[in-house]
């Protein structure tokens, strides 16, 4: 689960593209005709990695850590697809209007203390799109494309990510699967709210080995590193009683991963659909639902730009499925100022690279933390604006 | 003493105690002086500002929304790019951080009452991707949605100016005519002016790109691509890289890659000759201003001669006096220049409309309706005013400094004037040199633009030559006058003055020569132009009705009559036949020319009626051509501008780019064309239609069947095509001449100024002469000469000076007219004109000049008769 | 002369003017023929002679406006032949001043300003200047017309102002060229009397060009110029 949900809403509103969110109970489609992900559905490969234009909302969400010699970087590349109608009937038009494509790119330069970011919105057409049937996305000069493999969740494969931030930074990375892909949720769907339609198909590559070039400060750096990629498809993710969420992806040094999201209710308490998931070295997933894990916000950082107050140093804990023991972790951001200030989308959020510390304070992995809904009631207003 | 603090103190002292007090006492004359200078600077500056504005008015409308692009990609031929070019560019640029903004542009005409029908200016429709535009322009671009703007062909955002003029707001509906189709658009919103960005152009309508494509019926076509490299540390590197990639792909793709700077230059280049001519004309306005100031300062020196003498006797050095006068000139220059800058700016607001119209009709689209006062232009104008004033003050300052101390001052000591004017014989030599250099070829820059440098130099030398030669008339005229004196003593007095002319006499005549020569020379040019044009229009315009798309009075605008429209007109039962022509811009030799197609080639009789610079050989008649095998090069005619600019002529071949590849045409002849100075290649319409895949036409001329009333047909057509320009033959002729007259309107005002300056200058000169001769006047009075007789003697003297100036000035005008027509216009515009002398204008000019000169002189004489013998005031 | 801007002082002892064999020709005509004479400090001498005798030329040479062909002129011990144009201008500013027949007041300046003008050229500061102008206008008895424009003054008043202006810089020598020639006899007498009185008081030398024996009466001796030659002598009755 990511903040993209809100951004989606924001973007829809920004573009004035309001739509009804009332699904029909138990239906396969929403009232306005978008498909609802169904439990237990079979997946087709590599089509599942490509675009699903009969669903309203879809995103490919890459975050991770890159290293060049002693230098460390965080990076984030997000491709959204926002359908305006349930059919892609203008696939060949240069200036279509069935889909909008929003994208974000960010690079955290730890040594330089800089957080570079850019966002853009394009329409279905000559300069932005997402292929149906295979993984190929493009938005201006940013792109993500499957190179090989990925015939199943377990299949090994590779893809290429190109992009950058204005003329300040550029990346060209080959990503190789270091572990099988996983599918979160019960029966293959991830539920985000009580409404029947508030479910998503949530497929993740928890560990992608990255290799390639990062150009920054006018110099090309050979980088290696490790990325996390979410791909989530839905037609309505909005829980009515949710004001924001905290989300984290952790890659432990021992080869395991952890993903958690906490959906916050107006009184600050976690929603029952909040989830934590352990991913074993062999790719098996152990889910922990609300009540089965702890999440403790902490370490407020106040944004000088938006005034948002973000708890950027949360602590969380859960029973380790391997050892059966209670484990507790804390996050330590590599930099405080990793806020997407939302010039185009209009909604700000914090998304940044962190180190993961265990109870003893030792580094046990790296994480990406996402914090949304912290810039006052702006987000709520927009959410209820329709 | 030179430059010492003491001298600076004296200058201030003298300025305060003498100059300033004179100015205050003679406030009227001082203001007149400042006014004259201000007028000169004002005319000069206004024309510069207006022509600058007319050129800079060409700007890409999108700039006001997004700021400046790094590159533009335009088609090398025709006026559209295929839509897929955008994707092609993105693929070639790969991952370079570059925003590519496709743009469609179109023109429309306001119709109906919703919009102000009194001023139906063309509207500019700009189609851009309103989603992507926000990435570059942020909130200055309105938000769109499926209901508001996005993909809509029935909605547009309007400029704040348009909204306020017509009371439009979101939801208002207004009517336009686009491609002869009347459409209603709903206002999706009003664009906002952002203080940090250029103002939204006043006639702008912004639409979502696919909506506009649909509206104007040009699906999958773009006008251009704007390319902007993202900011950042690597921006310059990516810019170079992008340019390299795009340029290397350009020839394969039929692209032309330009920077906005290239584009502005190209546009400025197109109309440079026109603007240069305007600038030279406006410089003349400043020159006559200089002449008047010179005369006025001379007169002041003469008036204040005894004061200078006293100062000298009190120990003020000659150098100090000279500097005092130069300082006075400088102060006048600052005052006049400053006022002139303001006048120039104000006048430019008026002038710019005319200049813009001319530039529009001759060269390119300009949206300019107002001229900004550029700081450098203001400084330039002020500096020019000061320089002009200093130049005008140079001789008077010298004269003042040569004043002896009071002990030596004799009443009647006279200014030397310009030594070279006293040598009329040398005038002949200068004239010969002037004649010789007029035959030098123009200076040409790389793009083939001719600058008639030698022509202008020759003109100025002729001015000098005839000013000098005018002096040859003093002796015979004075002899004749004195001879007539048996009956009229005034004539003897006047004649005796001219028998030994002073430097002042010679200067007065030279001024008259310059002023009348310029005025009449301009008259020769305009008259010749008008005569030639009238004849040409008569030959060219033989059809009964002329139909052009709305907003087609802009050169280069892509508006056409769609095939359906013009074919239906051609098929009208009242029509006997039609001529059609299609013009399209193509790149040739580094500049934009026009490739035109018509069916004129088909009719031998009409072909031979055209005005030919190089006529087709009789053997190469159209009938013969039609027999030429299909493989041969298609025939073409080129216009005179094309021929002169590129050195092409009959028998040459020319290769032009088209969307269907490069085409080689064989040139059969060169025709006169006074509607275009950029260059046109005219070939067969069917070829152009085929190459460009577009069967619209730019104009249609219809010949009606005998007995059909053109006005009835016109009215009928106008109902069907409400916004089209449909004109009857007579109306079109009148309109063509009106455009021409507007173009030359500025020259008429210069003519009027010329005459006024000549007469005022003469009056001032005569006033100075009479002040210098006040002792003589006293003597004349003491021996019984009446005031009336003194006045009539002065009138005769003035009239004779005016006559001398007129004779030489009219000769000068014939020479200048010849230079303008034979050398300057041909070299800079590529237009051959017939030489015609405006006899009526010459007679009128002479009569007005002589009469006003005599009147002014008599008035000056009568006033001078009241002067006391020896007091200066 | 130096450019010392301090208040001028009246002459020191010695010769005010010396001419030594001054000769000047215009074309073939010899206008001055070896003219030599001297004026002591404070001495008043009349220069007489018929029209065309060379009086004006002689005055112009002494005033540094014209230069002799040969011979030397010294004013207050300073030889004019060694001065350039600027030097001669400085001479006119301070050492030798002129009173004209036609007054030659600057038309744009008031009476007081006309008198102050030479002092301004010399850089005298305002307070001293105003005091000096007031003294001079009082001395020539036109202090009641100090603020009048020249064209508001009578002939006599104009000449008084012109005299005050000539005396303002504290000259060694005043050249007066027919100062009464344009005035009626009563006014002329008053002007002559004024010149004599001020000469006595202030001690400048005066070279008075005149046709009138009556006028020459204020002088201690007279010089007669005829055909460019000088013959000194007592008045002939």
pLDDT at B66 over 70: no
Q: How many percent of chain A have pLDDT more than 70?
A: 88
Picking from C100, C118, C123, the nearest residue to B406 by CB comes out as C100
Test B313 with C59 for CB contact under 8 angstroms: no
Distance CA B526, CA B842 (A): 13
Q: Average pLDDT over chain B, rounded to whole?
A: 78
Residue B150 and residue B134 share a domain:
yes
Distance CA B122, CA B104 (A): 16
Query: Which residues of chain B are within 8 Å of residue C104 when distances are taken between CB atoms?
Result: 306, 309-310, 313, 406
Cβ C51 vs Cβ C1: under 8 Å: no
Q: Average pLDDT over chain C, rounded to whole?
A: 83
Distance CA C177, CA C219 (A): 14
**Does some domain include residue C105?**
yes
DSSP character string of A348-365? -EEEEEEEEE-TTS-EEE
pLDDT at B30 over 50: yes
Q: Give the pLDDT confidence score for residue B270 in this predicted structure.
A: 57
Higher pLDDT among residues A50 and B351, named by residue: A50
Q: Give the pLDDT confidence score for residue B42 in this predicted structure.
A: 77
Task: Give A 94-113 residues with CB within 8 A of chain B.
Answer: 94-95, 97, 100
Q: Give the pLDDT confidence score for residue B383 in this predicted structure.
A: 87
Query: Domain A4-17+42-384 carries which CATH code?
Result: 2.40.370.10
DSSP character string of B165-216? HHT--TT-EEEEEETTEEEEEEEEEE----TTSPPPPTTEEEEEHHHHHHHT
Question: Which residue in this structure is represented by tokens 């439009």?
Answer: B168
Mean pLDDT to the nearest integer, C79-86: 83
**Does some domain include residue C111?**
yes
**Which of B67-81, B328-342, B615-629, B811-825 bottoms out in mean pLDDT, i.e. has the lowest?**
B615-629
Q: Give the pLDDT confidence score for residue B90 in this predicted structure.
A: 95
**Does some domain include residue C4?**
no
Residue B385 and residue B295 share a domain:
yes
Q: Taking CA B238 as the corner, what is the angle to CA B237 and CA B244, rounded to the nearest 5 degrees? A: 95
**Does some domain include residue C2?**
no
Q: Give the pLDDT confidence score for residue B114 in this predicted structure.
A: 41
Q: Give the pLDDT confidence score for residue B238 in this predicted structure.
A: 94
**Does some domain include residue B828?**
yes
Picking from B13, B307, B405, the nearest residue to C107 by CB comes out as B307
Q: Give the pLDDT confidence score for residue C2 in this predicted structure.
A: 39
Mean pLDDT to the nearest integer, B315-343: 86
Q: Give the pLDDT confidence score for residue B630 in this predicted structure.
A: 54
Q: Is A92 on the interface with B (CB under 8 A)?
A: no
Tokens of B385: 């005013």
A and C interact (at least 3 Cβ pairs within 8 A): no
pLDDT at A65 over 80: yes
Distance CA A345, CA A7 (A): 7
- Residue from B138, B233, B245 whose CB has the most chain A CBs within 10 Å, to mutate: B233
Residue B142 and residue B154 share a domain:
yes
pLDDT at B146 over 70: no
| Chain B residues within 8 angstroms (CB to CB) of chain C | 1, 6, 9-10, 13, 17-18, 21-22, 25, 306-307, 309-318, 404-408, 870-873
Residue B205 and residue B155 share a domain:
yes
Test B138 with A215 for CB contact under 8 angstroms: no
| pLDDT tens string B361-405 | 544 444 444 556 667 778 888 888 888 888 888 888 888 888 877
Residue B849 and residue B788 share a domain:
yes
Mean pLDDT to the nearest integer, B7-17: 78
Higher pLDDT among residues A151 and A9, named by residue: A151
Q: Is A153 on the interface with B (CB under 8 A)?
A: no
Q: Tell me the residue range of the domain where C129 lies.
A: 15-233
Q: Give the pLDDT confidence score for residue C13 in this predicted structure.
A: 56
Q: How many percent of chain B have pLDDT more than 90?
A: 8
Mean pLDDT to the nearest integer, B609-620: 74
**Does some domain include residue C3?**
no
Residue B627 — pLDDT band, cuts 50, 70, 90?
Answer: very low
Residue B206 and residue B190 share a domain:
yes
**Which of A315-319, B276-280, B408-412, C144-148 bottoms out in mean pLDDT, i.e. has the lowest?**
B408-412
Q: Give the pLDDT confidence score for residue B120 in this predicted structure.
A: 52
Picking from A16, A93, A120, the nearest residue to B135 by CB comes out as A120
Query: Which residues of chain B are within 8 Å of residue C65 when distances are taken between CB atoms?
Result: 313, 404-405, 407-408
**Number of domains chain B is built from:** 4
Mean pLDDT to the nearest integer, A280-287: 92
Residue B399 and residue B478 share a domain:
no
Higher pLDDT among residues B225 and B674, named by residue: B225
Residue B607 and residue B480 share a domain:
no
Q: How far apart are the first and last CA of chain A?
A: 22
Q: Give the pLDDT confidence score for residue B626 in this predicted structure.
A: 54
Distance CA B352, CA B339 (A): 19
Query: Which residues of chain A are within 8 Å of residue B102 when distances are taken between CB atoms?
Result: 94, 126
**Number of domains chain C is built from:** 1
Q: How many percent of chain A have pLDDT more than 90?
A: 65
The structural domains of chain A, with segments of one domain joined by +, span 4-17+42-384
Q: Give the pLDDT confidence score for residue A237 in this predicted structure.
A: 63
Q: How many percent of chain C have pLDDT more than 90?
A: 6
Q: Is B258 on the interface with A (CB under 8 A)?
A: no
Residue B349 — pLDDT band, cuts 50, 70, 90?
Answer: low
**Does some domain include residue C103?**
yes
Residue B765 and residue B676 share a domain:
no
Please report how many Cα atoms fall inside a 13 Å half-sphere around the Cα of residue B65, on the Cβ side. 31
Phi, psi of C97, deg, nearest 5: -120, 165
Residue B162 and residue B85 share a domain:
yes
Q: At what angle do helices B729-743 and B503-540 cross, to 10 degrees?
A: 150
Test A168 with B148 for CB contact under 8 angstroms: no
Q: Give the pLDDT confidence score for residue A256 in this predicted structure.
A: 96
Distance CA A100, CA A16 (A): 12
Picking from B84, B138, B232, the nearest residue to A168 by CB comes out as B232
Higher pLDDT among residues B236 and A344, named by residue: B236
Residue B351 — pLDDT band, cuts 50, 70, 90?
Answer: low
Residue B816 and residue B804 share a domain:
yes
Q: Give the pLDDT confidence score for residue B871 in this predicted structure.
A: 36
Q: Give the pLDDT confidence score for residue A2 in this predicted structure.
A: 34
Mean pLDDT to the nearest integer, B162-172: 86
Query: Which residues of chain B are within 8 Å of residue C177 when distances are taken between CB atoms?
Result: 407
Write down the ipTM of this complex. 0.89
| pLDDT tens string A204-228 | 999 999 999 999 999 999 999 999 9
Residue A177 — pLDDT band, cuts 50, 70, 90?
Answer: very high
Q: Is C117 on the interface with B (CB under 8 A)?
A: yes
Query: Which residues of chain A are within 8 Å of residue B188 when distances are taken between CB atoms?
Result: none
Q: Give the pLDDT confidence score for residue A384 in this predicted structure.
A: 33
Distance CA B264, CA B270 (A): 10
Distance CA C214, CA C46 (A): 11
Test B143 with A16 for CB contact under 8 angstroms: yes
Which candidate, A192, A176, A2, places its Cα nearest to that of A104?
A2
Query: Which residues of chain C are within 8 Å of residue B17 when distances are taken between CB atoms?
Result: 106, 108-109, 113, 117
Residue B256 — pLDDT band, cuts 50, 70, 90?
Answer: confident
Q: How far is B189 from chain A (nearest CA, A)?
A: 14
Cβ A158 vs Cβ A147: under 8 Å: yes
| pLDDT tens string A134-148 | 999 999 999 999 999
Higher pLDDT among residues B163 and B551, named by residue: B163
| pLDDT tens string B271-291 | 565 666 666 666 766 676 777
ω into A46 cis (within 30 of 0): yes
A and B interact (at least 3 Cβ pairs within 8 A): yes
pLDDT at A180 over 70: yes
**Does some domain include residue C104?**
yes
| pLDDT tens string B468-504 | 888 888 888 888 887 776 666 777 778 777 877 877 7
Q: How many percent of chain B have pLDDT more than 70?
A: 77
**Which of A158-167, B752-761, C144-153 bottoms out in mean pLDDT, i.e. has the lowest?**
B752-761
Phi-psi region for residue C178, left (φ > 0), alpha (ψ -120 to 50) or beta? left
**Does some domain include residue B722?**
no
Residue A129 — pLDDT band, cuts 50, 70, 90?
Answer: very high
DSSP character string of A110-153? TTTTEEEEEEEEEEEETTEEE-SSS-EEEETTEEEEEEEE-SSS
Q: How far is C9 from chain B (nearest CA, A)?
A: 18
Residue A10 — pLDDT band, cuts 50, 70, 90?
Answer: very low
Q: Give the pLDDT confidence score for residue C9 in this predicted structure.
A: 45
Give the best-scoring range by mean pLDDT among A200-204, B540-544, C169-173, C227-231.
A200-204
Q: Average pLDDT over chain A, rounded to whole?
A: 86
Cβ B611 vs Cβ B640: under 8 Å: no
| pLDDT tens string C4-40 | 434 444 444 578 889 888 999 888 888 888 888 888 8
Q: Are strands B545-548 and B450-451 parallel, antiparallel or unpaired?
A: unpaired
pTM, full prediction: 0.62
Higher pLDDT among residues B768 and C195, named by residue: C195
Nearest CA in chain A to B96: A141
Distance CA A323, CA A190 (A): 26
Q: Give the pLDDT confidence score for residue B777 in this predicted structure.
A: 77
Mean pLDDT to the nearest integer, B166-179: 84
Q: Tell me the residue range of the domain where B857 lies.
A: 436-541+736-873
Mean pLDDT to the nearest integer, A231-258: 86
Distance CA B149, CA B215 (A): 13
Beta-strand (E) ranges in B536-652? 545-548, 575-588, 591-598, 612-614, 635-639
Supply the CATH number for residue C132's domain.
Answer: 3.40.50.300
pLDDT at B115 over 50: no
Residues near B782 by Cβ (< 8 Å), separated by ≥ 6?
none
**Does some domain include residue B174?**
yes
pLDDT at B699 over 80: yes
pLDDT at A4 over 60: no
């Amino acid at each position: 689960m990511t903040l993209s949900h809100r951004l989606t809403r924001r973007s829809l509103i920004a573009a004035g593209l309001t739509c009804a969110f009332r699904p029909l109970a138990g239906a396969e489609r929403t009232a306005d005709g978008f498909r609802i992900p169904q439990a237990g559905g079979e997946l087709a490969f590599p089509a599942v990695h490509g675009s699903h234009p009969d669903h309203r909302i879809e995103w490919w969400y890459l975050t991770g850590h890159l290293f060049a010699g002693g230098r460390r970087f965080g990076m984030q590349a997000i491709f959204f697809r926002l359908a305006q109608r349930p059919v892609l009937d203008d696939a060949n038009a240069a200036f279509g209007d069935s889909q909008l494509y929003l994208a974000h790119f960010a690079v955290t330069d730890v040594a330089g203390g800089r957080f570079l970011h850019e966002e853009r919105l394009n329409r279905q057409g000559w300069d932005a799109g997402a292929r149906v049937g295979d993984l190929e996305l493009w938005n201006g000069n940013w792109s993500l494309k499957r190179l090989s493999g990925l015939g199943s969740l377990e299949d090994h494969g590779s893809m290429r990510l190109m992009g950058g931030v204005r003329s300040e930074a550029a990346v060209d990375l080959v990503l190789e699967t270091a572990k099988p892909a996983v599918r979160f949720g019960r029966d293959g769907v991830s539920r985000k709210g009580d409404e029947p339609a508030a479910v998503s198909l949530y497929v993740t590559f928890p560990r992608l080995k990255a290799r390639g070039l990062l150009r920054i400060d006018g110099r090309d750096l050979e980088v290696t590193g490790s990325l996390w990629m979410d791909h989530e498809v839905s037609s309505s993710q909005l829980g009515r009683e949710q004001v924001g969420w905290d989300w984290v992806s952790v890659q432990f040094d021992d080869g395991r991963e952890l993903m958690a999201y906490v959906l916050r209710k107006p009184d600050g308490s976690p929603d029952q659909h909040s989830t934590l998931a352990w991913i074993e070295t062999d790719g098996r997933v152990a889910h922990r639902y609300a009540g089965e894990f702890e999440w403790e916000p902490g370490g407020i950082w106040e944004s000088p730009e938006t005034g948002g107050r973000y708890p950027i140093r949360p602590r969380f804990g859960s029973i380790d499925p391997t050892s059966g023991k209670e484990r507790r972790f804390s996050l330590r951001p590599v930099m405080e100022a990793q806020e997407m200030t939302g010039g185009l989308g209009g909604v700000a959020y914090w998304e940044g690279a962190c180190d993961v510390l265990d109870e003893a304070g030792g580094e046990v992995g790296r994480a990406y933390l996402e914090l949304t809904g912290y810039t006052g009631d702006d987000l709520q207003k927009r959410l209820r604006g329709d | 003493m030179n430059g010492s603090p003491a001298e600076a103190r004296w200058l201030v002292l003298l300025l305060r105690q003498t100059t300033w007090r004179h100015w205050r006492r003679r406030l009227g004359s001082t203001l007149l002086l400042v006014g004259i200078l201000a007028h000169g600077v004002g005319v000069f500056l206004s024309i510069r500002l207006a022509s600058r504005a007319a050129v800079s008015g060409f700007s890409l409308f999108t700039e006001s929304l997004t700021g400046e692009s790094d590159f533009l990609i335009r088609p090398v031929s025709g006026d559209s790019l295929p839509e897929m070019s955008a994707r092609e560019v993105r693929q070639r640029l790969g991952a370079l951080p570059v925003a590519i903004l496709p743009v469609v542009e179109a023109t429309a005409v306001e119709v109906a009452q919703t919009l102000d029908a009194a001023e139906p200016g063309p509207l500019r429709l700009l189609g851009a991707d309103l989603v992507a535009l926000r990435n570059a322009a942020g909130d200055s671009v309105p938000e769109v949605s499926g209901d508001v703007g996005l993909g809509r062909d029935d909605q547009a955002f309007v400029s704040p100016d348009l909204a306020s003029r017509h009371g439009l707001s979101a939801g208002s509906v207004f009517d336009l005519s686009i491609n002869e189709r009347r459409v209603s658009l709903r206002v999706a919103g009003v664009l906002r002016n952002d203080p940090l960005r250029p103002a939204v152009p006043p006639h702008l309508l912004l639409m979502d790109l696919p909506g506009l494509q649909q509206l104007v019926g040009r699906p999958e076509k773009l006008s251009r691509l704007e390319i902007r490299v993202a900011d950042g540390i690597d921006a310059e590197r990516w810019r170079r890289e992008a340019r390299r990639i795009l340029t290397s792909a350009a020839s394969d793709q039929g692209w032309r890659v330009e920077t906005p700077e290239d584009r502005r230059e190209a546009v400025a280049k197109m109309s440079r000759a026109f603007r240069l001519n305007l600038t030279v004309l406006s410089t003349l306005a400043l020159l006559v201003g200089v002449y008047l100031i010179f005369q006025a300062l001379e007169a002041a020196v003469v008036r204040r001669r005894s004061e200078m003498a006293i100062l000298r006797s009190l120990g003020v050095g000659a150098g100090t006096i000279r500097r005092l006068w130069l300082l006075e000139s400088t102060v006048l220059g600052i005052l006049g220049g400053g006022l002139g800058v303001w006048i120039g700016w104000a006048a430019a607001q008026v002038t710019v409309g005319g200049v813009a119209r001319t530039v529009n009709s001759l060269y390119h689209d300009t949206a300019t309706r107002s001229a900004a006062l550029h700081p450098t232009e203001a400084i330039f104008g002020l500096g020019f005013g000061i320089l002009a004033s200093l130049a005008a003050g140079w001789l008077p300052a010298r004269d003042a400094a040569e004043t002896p101390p009071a002990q030596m001052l004799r009443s009647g000591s006279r200014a030397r004037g310009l030594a070279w004017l006293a040598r009329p014989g040398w005038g002949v030599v200068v004239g010969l040199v002037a004649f010789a250099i007029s035959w030098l070829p123009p200076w040409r820059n790389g793009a083939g633009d001719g600058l008639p440098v030698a022509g202008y130099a020759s003109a100025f030398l002729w001015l000098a030559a005839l000013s000098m030669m005018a002096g040859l008339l003093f002796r015979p005229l004075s002899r004749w006058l004195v001879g007539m004196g048996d009956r009229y003593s005034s004539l003897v007095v006047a004649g005796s003055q001219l028998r030994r002319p002073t430097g002042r006499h010679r200067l007065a005549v030279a001024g008259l020569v310059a002023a009348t020569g310029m005025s009449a020379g301009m008259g020769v040019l305009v008259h010749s132009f008008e005569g030639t044009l009238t004849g040409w229009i008569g030959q060219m315009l033989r059809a009964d009705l002329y139909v052009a798309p709305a907003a087609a009075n802009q050169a280069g605008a892509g508006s056409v009559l769609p095939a359906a429209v013009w074919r239906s007109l051609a098929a009208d039962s009242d029509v006997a036949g039609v001529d059609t022509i299609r013009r399209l811009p193509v790149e040739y030799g580094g500049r934009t020319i026009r490739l035109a197609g018509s069916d004129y080639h088909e009719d031998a009789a009409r072909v031979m009626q055209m005005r030919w610079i190089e006529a087709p050989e009789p053997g190469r008649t159209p009938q013969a051509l039609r027999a030429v095998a299909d493989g041969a090069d298609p025939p073409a005619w080129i216009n005179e501008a094309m021929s002169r600019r590129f050195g092409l002529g009959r028998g040459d071949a020319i290769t032009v780019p088209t969307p269907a590849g490069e085409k080689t045409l064989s040139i059969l002849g060169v025709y006169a064309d006074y509607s275009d100075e950029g260059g046109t290649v005219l070939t067969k319409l069917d070829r152009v239609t085929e190459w460009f895949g577009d069967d619209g036409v730019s104009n249609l001329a219809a010949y009606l069947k005998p007995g059909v009333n053109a006005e009835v047909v016109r009215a009928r057509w106008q109902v069907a095509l409400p916004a089209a320009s449909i004109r009857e033959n007579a109306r079109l002729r009148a309109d063509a001449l009106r455009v021409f007259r507007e173009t030359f309107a500025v020259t008429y005002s210069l003519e009027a100024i010329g005459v006024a300056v000549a007469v005022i200058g003469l009056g001032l000169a005569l006033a100075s002469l009479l002040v210098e001769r006040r002792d003589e006047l006293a003597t004349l009075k003491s021996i019984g000469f009446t005031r009336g007789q003194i006045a009539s003697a002065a009138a005769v003297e003035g009239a004779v000076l005016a006559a001398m100036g007129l004779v030489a000035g009219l000769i000068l005008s014939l020479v200048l007219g010849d230079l303008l027509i034979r050398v300057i216009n041909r070299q800079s515009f590529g237009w051959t004109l017939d030489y015609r002398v405006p006899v009526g204008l010459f007679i009128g000019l002479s009569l007005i000049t002589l009469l006003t000169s005599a009147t002014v002189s008599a008035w000056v004489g009568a006033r001078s008769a009241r002067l006391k013998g020896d007091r200066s005031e | 002369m130096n450019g010392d801007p301090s208040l001028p002082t009246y002459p020191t002892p010695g010769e005010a003017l010396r001419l030594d064999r001054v000769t000047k020709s215009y074309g073939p005509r010899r206008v001055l023929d070896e003219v030599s004479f001297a004026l002591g400090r404070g001495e008043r001498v009349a220069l007489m002679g018929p029209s065309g005798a060379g009086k004006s030329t002689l005055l112009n040479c002494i005033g540094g406006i014209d230069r002799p062909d040969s011979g030397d002129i010294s004013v207050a011990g300073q030889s004019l032949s060694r001065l350039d144009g600027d030097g001669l201008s400085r001479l006119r500013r301070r050492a030798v001043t002129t009173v004209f027949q036609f007054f030659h007041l600057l038309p744009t300046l008031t009476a007081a300003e006309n008198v102050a003008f030479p002092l301004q050229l010399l850089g005298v500061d305002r307070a001293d200047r105003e005091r000096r102008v007031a003294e001079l206008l009082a001395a020539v008895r036109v202090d009641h017309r100090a603020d009048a424009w020249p064209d508001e003054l009578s002939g006599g008043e104009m000449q008084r102002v012109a005299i005050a202006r000539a005396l303002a810089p504290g000259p060694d020598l005043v050249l007066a060229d027919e100062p009464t020639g344009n005035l009626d006899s009563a006014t002329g007498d008053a002007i002559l009397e004024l010149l004599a009185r001020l000469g006595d008081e202030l001690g400048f030398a005066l070279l008075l060009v005149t046709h009138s024996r009556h006028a020459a009466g204020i002088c201690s001796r007279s010089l007669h110029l005829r055909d460019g030659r000088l013959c000194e002598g007592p008045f002939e009755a």
